[in-house]
């Protein structure tokens, strides 16, 4: 069995199954938000978008919505990426 131990401000938790993937997604999303705060670093958001475009069948609805909202509100336009993804 694969476990992930997470330590933070709350007590430690042992996660397994779907909870592991959910927690990993939340950590990835918070890293994107942290990078966009203040002097924005678009790298983590662009990496998330690239990950979604490369394997859309593996992307969760939550991640897709998260990335779409951040693209509209924070990211300079990337029309070439969207056009390439649409052609698939």
Give the pTM. Answer: 0.62
Query: CB atoms < 10 A from the CB of 32, how many?
Result: 23
pLDDT at 73: 85
pLDDT band at 88 (very low <50, low <70, confident <90, very high): low
For residue range 6-54, list pLDDT tens digits in order: 666 666 677 777 877 777 777 778 888 888 888 888 888 888 888 888 9
Tokens 């779907």 identify what position? 18
Burial class (CB in 10 A: 0-12, 13-18, 19+), 42: middle
Q: Where are the domains of the chain?
A: 21-86
pLDDT at 7: 65
Angle among Cα 46, 49, 52 to the nearest 5 degrees reads 150
Nearest Cα to Cα of residue 84 among 41, 50, 61: 50
pLDDT at 62: 86
Residues 4 and 20: beta-carbon distance below 8 Å: yes
Residues 15 and 4: beta-carbon distance below 8 Å: yes
pLDDT at 11: 65
């Amino acid at each position: 069995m694969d476990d992930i131990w997470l330590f933070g401000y709350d007590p430690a938790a042992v996660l397994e199954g779907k909870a592991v993937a959910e927690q990993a997604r939340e950590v990835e999303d918070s890293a994107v938000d942290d990078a966009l705060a203040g002097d924005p670093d678009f790298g983590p958001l662009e990496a998330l978008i690239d990950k979604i475009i490369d394997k859309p069948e593996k992307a969760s609805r939550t991640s897709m919505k998260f990335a779409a909202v951040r693209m509209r509100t924070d990211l300079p336009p990337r029309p070439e990426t969207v056009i390439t993804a649409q052609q698939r």
